[in-house]
């Protein structure tokens, strides 16, 4: 994995934001290191999973609330599933393609 550039300005204490990014071999963003908003807290990593065709497969934030995507054979978004507190909620293709979600 390659390290990406962080933000161009200094982050003030208590301000959250992107510290750095890593990329996979296909130049897709693989992880994002997030600055903790709590001064005594430690930074957390959000993972982004992509398919071989570059389409986003999943977003995995550090504190849960994962989002996963399913696509048709032609690459059209079919469903988006969100998981919070262990329970999943799915969105249909109509919801995604018509901007209802």
Based on the domain organization, do 40 and 80 belong to the same domain?
A: no
Based on the domain organization, do 71 and 36 belong to the same domain?
A: no
pTM recorded for the entire structure: 0.67
Based on the domain organization, do 13 and 36 belong to the same domain?
A: yes
Based on the domain organization, do 93 and 70 belong to the same domain?
A: yes
More confident residue, 36 or 30: 30
Range of the domain at 85: 64-101
> How many domains, the chain?
2
Based on the domain organization, do 4 and 24 belong to the same domain?
A: yes
Mean pLDDT (the chain) is 77
pLDDT at 28 over 60: yes
Residue 96 dihedral angles phi and psi, to the nearest 5°: -70, -50
* Confidence grade of residue 95 (pLDDT, cut at 50, 70, 90): low
Based on the domain organization, do 51 and 69 belong to the same domain?
A: no
Paired tokens of 78: 């079919």
How far is it, in rounded angstroms, from Cα 25 to Cα 23? 7
Residue 3 buriedness (CB in 10 A; 0-12 / 13-18 / 19+): exposed
Based on the domain organization, do 21 and 46 belong to the same domain?
A: yes
How far is it, in rounded angstroms, from Cα 84 to Cα 71? 22
Based on the domain organization, do 49 and 88 belong to the same domain?
A: no
Residue 19 contacts residue 7 (beta carbons within 8 Å)? yes
More confident residue, 64 or 33: 33
**Lowest pLDDT segment from 1-10, 14-23, 44-53, 55-64:** 1-10
Nearest-CA neighbor of 48 among 66, 70, 72? 66
Based on the domain organization, do 50 and 7 belong to the same domain?
A: yes
Based on the domain organization, do 2 and 43 belong to the same domain?
A: yes
Based on the domain organization, do 50 and 16 belong to the same domain?
A: yes
How far is it, in rounded angstroms, from Cα 33 to Cα 79? 27
Based on the domain organization, do 10 and 49 belong to the same domain?
A: yes
């Amino acid at each position: 994995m390659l390290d990406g550039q962080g933000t161009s300005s200094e982050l003030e204490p208590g301000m959250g934001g992107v510290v750095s990014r890593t990329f996979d071999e296909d130049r897709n963003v693989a992880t994002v290191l997030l600055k903790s908003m709590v001064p005594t807290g430690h930074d957390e990593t959000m993972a982004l999973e992509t398919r071989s065709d570059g389409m986003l497969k999943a977003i995995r934030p550090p504190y849960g609330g994962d989002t996963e995507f399913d696509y048709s054979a032609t690459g059209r978004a079919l469903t988006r599933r969100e998981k919070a507190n262990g329970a999943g909620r799915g969105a249909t293709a109509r919801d995604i393609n018509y901007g209802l979600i």
